[in-house]
Amino acid sequence: MNRLAAVLLSFVTVATAAERPNILVILSDDQGYADAGFQGSKEAPTPHLDSLAKAGLRCTSGYVTHPYCSPSRAALLTGRYQMRFGHERNPYYDPTNHREGLPVTEKLLPEYLREAGYVTGWIGKWHLGATPEFWPERRGFMETFGFIGGGHQYQNWQVNPAAEYRVPICRNGQPVEVKEHLTVAFGHEAAAFVRRHAAEPWFLYLAFNAPHTPHQPTPERLAKFEHIQDKQRRAYLAQISLMDDAIGEALTALKETGQTERTLVFFFSDNGGPTYVGANNDPLRGMKGTTYEGGVRVPFVVSWPGQLPAGKDYALPVSSLDVFPTALACAGMPMPTDRPRDGVNLVPFLRGEYTSPPHDRLFWREEEQGQWGMRDGVMKLVRRTKAVSTEGGRYSVSPLAGRAEELFDLGSDIGEVRDLAATRAADLQRLSATLDEWNNQGAPLAFGGTKGKETPPPKVRSRNGKKTP
């Protein structure tokens, strides 16, 4: 089967092959590529995520579309590269600003699934706009629980609607009191949603803010990592552990209500880990905020017992863009044709029905820090017009004289160590021209975002004798 035929057929619905499944999308926040048991970590035990990976497929080339929070989430919920609608920055938290948010001209995944008869729920972090028209209740979610901003205190906070990390936690748009650790609360809410809707198809977007800073694990959980000498990494790992238990609570609810085999589950991080606050992206180069692999390649699992293979690795590139068309296909809905969509239905690829790659090419653009990326087969182009520096223990960005382009062969160099730009000039020219073509499809910025307004990043430190890129 040729590539075009495979892609076109990948959009065909799969609902006739089995009962329409529930769809559970679990998102972690700033989790390092290496920081999960199923990724081989001995420092980050994640037994519940490991069980999910064992019941499904570990996608070892799983990507998101942007190296930080809000743009990545915007692409996930639209099935479109965020540059197509100008959502390329984190919206500045301002409950009076009607521009700073995911443009309302974009119709989100829960809106389509709601039309298909699904109960739709959101739990956790939003970060897609603070004024009412951007709220999840207005974007297709029938049941909601979480916070609107880009981050939040985990425990013992004093509510302040004007302070992004201390805004109220709301259920269905109304403030509620949360006394327990926020990650624990999200696990309880997810399990309750699963149990409440056991008799009907549902879609749940479970978007944790863990292990994003501030690192505030419970004292009991922190004590379990007292053998980790670095205090910052110790707290970061404790937060991952709390998140894993919360995920385990939701998975247990699936099992106890007999829904495991009729639930399609995605798990991945919203972007690569920030090494300067404890994350480990080994063996990848780079971190959150960069278009090297460490910024955009993430822990990624897809599970659907009885419908997808179990306990296997899938090495071909997949993307968070694929959640949208996969969910619609499983719900028996056709893909909308009103505008370009950039994902594919992964089911036939993961089943082995199609042996071609789901994506010939993937692209990244982080325009604030002057970074682009493109993967074509195993070849990866990284373009920079600015330099990211950690000299003196501070994170800074400065313009380059012109632009720098690097070329890597990910098939033999996953760590992007050997720049092949000088020896493979034809490949470099081809990929650079293709990246230019894609780059020109972008829309103007929809909002200004946090540029020049956010708190400076924390001090950068080395881990295991390695300098952060």
Summarised one tens digit per residue, pLDDT across range 108-136 is 999 999 999 999 999 999 999 999 999 99
Contact 320, 66 (CB under 8 A): no
* Whole-number Å distance between alpha carbons of 8 and 2: 10
Q: Among all chains, which residue has been given the structure tokens 């890129």? A: 469
pLDDT of residue 456: 36
Mean pLDDT, residues 141-157? 97
Q: Which residues participate in catalysis according to the annotation?
A: 69, 127
pLDDT at 389: 63
Higher per-residue confidence, 425 vs 16 = 425
Three-state DSSP string of 401-435: EEEEEEEEECCCCCCCCCCCCCCCHHHHHHHHHHH
Least confident of 296-300, 313-317, 335-339, 446-450: 446-450
235 Cβ contact list (under 8 Å, min separation 6): 215, 216, 217, 222, 225, 278
Q: Is residue 102 within 8 Å of residue 129, measured between CB atoms?
A: yes
The model's pLDDT over 174-196, given as tens digits with 9 standing for 90+, comes to 999 999 999 999 999 999 999 99
Mean pLDDT is lowest, of 8-17, 88-97, 291-300, 414-423, for 8-17
Coil/strand/helix, residue 210: coil
Give the whole-number percent of the chain exceeding pLDDT 90. Answer: 87
Confidence label for 27 from pLDDT (cuts 50, 70 and 90): very high
For residue range 397-406, list pLDDT tens digits in order: 777 766 799 9
More confident residue, 391 or 168: 168
Checking if the pLDDT of 457 tops 50, the result is no
pLDDT of residue 13: 58
Contact 127, 90 (CB under 8 A): yes
Distances (CA, A) of 208 to 29, 31, 124: 6, 11, 5
pLDDT at 387: 72
- pLDDT the model gives residue 147: 98
Res 368: pLDDT:
86
Helix axes 182-196, 231-256, angle to 10 degrees: 10
Query: What's residue 377's pLDDT?
Result: 97
Compute CA distances 307 → 14, 148, 247, 373, 430, whole Å. 10, 35, 21, 34, 39
* Mean pLDDT within 430-457: 80
Question: Which position has the higher pLDDT, 450 or 463?
Answer: 450
pLDDT of residue 16: 45
Judge whether residue 468 has pLDDT over 90: no
For position 282, what pLDDT does the model report? 97
Q: Is the distance from CB of 397 to CB of 317 less than 8 angstroms?
A: no
Residue 250 has what pLDDT? 98
What's the pLDDT at 465?
A: 37
**Contact residues for 61 (Cβ-Cβ < 8 A; gap 6+):** 297, 314, 315, 316, 317, 318
According to DSSP, residue 343 is labeled -
Q: Give tens-digit pLDDT for 28-37.
A: 999 999 999 9
Q: Report pLDDT for 399.
A: 75
Is residue 461's pLDDT more than 50? no
Is 60 exceeded by the pLDDT of residue 216?
yes
Residue 418 pLDDT: 98
CA-to-CA separations, 86 to 100, 104, 133, 454, in angstroms, rounded: 11, 12, 17, 20
Tell me the C-alpha distance between 236 and 32, whole Å.
10
281, 275 contact by CB (below 8 A)? yes
355/445 Cα distance (integer angstroms): 37
Tell me the backbone φ, ψ of residue 385, rounded to 5 degrees. -115, 0
Helix (H) or strand (E) holding 106: none
Two structure tokens written together for 33: 């590529």
Listed in sequence order, the residues at least 6 apart from 86 whose beta carbon sits closer than 8 Å to its beta carbon are 103, 442, 443, 444, 445, 446, 447
Q: Over pLDDT 70: what percentage of the chain?
A: 89
Q: Quote the mean pLDDT of the chain.
A: 91
What is 313-338 written as a DSSP string?
EE-S-EEGGGHHHHHHHHTT-PPP-S
Q: Is it the case that residue 70 has pLDDT exceeding 60? A: yes
Residue 51 burial class via C-beta count within 10 angstroms: exposed 0-12, middle 13-18, buried 19 and up: middle
Better-predicted residue by pLDDT, 368 or 82: 82
pLDDT tens, position by position, 348-367: 999 999 999 999 999 999 98
Rounded CA separation 148/306 (Å): 36
Q: Which residues pair with 145 in a beta bridge?
A: 123, 171
pLDDT at 367: 86
Domains along the chain? 3-360 (3.40.720.10), 362-439 (3.30.1120.10)
> Are 75 and 65 in contact, with CB atoms under 8 Å apart?
yes
Which of 24-38, 202-216, 446-460 has the least mean pLDDT? 446-460
Instruction: Inform me whether the pLDDT recorded for 160 exceeds 90.
Output: yes
Q: What is residue 469's predicted lDDT score, i.e. its pLDDT? A: 36
Q: Tens of pLDDT along 236-259?
A: 999 999 999 999 999 999 999 999
